[in-house]
Amino acid sequence: MTDRYAVFGNPIAHSKSPQIHTAFAQQTEQDLSYEALLAPVDAFSESFNEFLQRQGKGANITVPFKQDAYERAESLTPRAQRAGAVNTLWQDEQGVVHGDTTDGVGLVRDLTQNQQLDLKGKRILILGAGGAVRGVIEPILAEQPAQLVIANRTVSKAEQLAELFADFGAISSCGFADLAGQQFDVVVNGTAASLAGDLPPLPDDLLAEGAACYDMMYSKEITVFNQWALDHGAVKAIDGLGMLVEQAAESFNIWRGVQPKTDQVMAQLREALNQS
């Protein structure tokens, strides 16, 4: 019997997840189906429960339901508990619903394996302090950077994250204005601002020599943040397409117990994006 999986979101028509997981299933010879499901913004739990009643095995969760998924899960992995958000759900044979977050693993794998960046001993800056950032802090600190700074427009939100993850490594917080005079080896944009053509106020000398920049967002055209990075001397300006595929691969491995290869899937998505 074909196992059923899905991604929940609102909106959801744009999701690349069905394409990604179908490709993973073909590659690893797994008998499964994967679909995109639109859930009402105020009825995620009801939609997910109906999915389970119709033999659903597991699901990915995207905006705006990661907090709802966190609350729906009956068992959480330590990294999901710390992040306060879930993007991967599955039900075990006893009927228990488990929750995990794979976003951070996806980002770090893209940086370290696909982009060949060594994060150990590096000065790393993350812009933003929202849900997208919460899930990536612990995996980044596990790479033992010299420092990790969270900068946000609302400083109190950055401070809360720094306090929450302080036991994992050298992490601090600041406002965008406080970045003057500081330099970083890796800068990650965790805000959605660049897709809207906006950018946090960043000093011109923010990037150290040989710095790499990473935008969690992706689009057909270069994002505003990555264009800023190239204009200010970054040797690499990477978008979030690799993170999307790598976090999906981690979810797939959790569900199926097999780790799919990601390079060909990424290449296919990039080609399709360029042709769209």
Number of residues that this document lists for the chain: 276
Residues 6+ apart with CB under 8 A from 97: 52, 72, 73, 74, 75, 89, 90, 91
- Buried b / exposed e over 237-248, threshold 16 CB at 10 Å, is bbbbbbbbbbbb
Q: Is 66 a catalytic residue?
A: yes
Distance CA 1, CA 3 (A): 6
CB neighbours of residue 177 within 10 Å = 11
- Buried b / exposed e over 41-67, threshold 16 CB at 10 Å, is eeebeebbeebbeeebbbbbbbeebbe
Distance CA 13, CA 3 (A): 22
Among the options 66, 157, 236, 261, which is catalytic?
Answer: 66
**Collapsing DSSP states into helix, strand and coil, what is residue 254?**
helix
Bridge partner list, 189: 127, 215
Alpha helices in 2-100 (DSSP H): 17-28, 44-53, 66-72, 78-83
Distance CA 66, CA 56 (A): 18
Residues 6+ apart with CB under 8 A from 112: 118, 119, 143
| 84 closest CA partner among 102, 64, 66, 97 | 66
Residues marked active site are found at 66
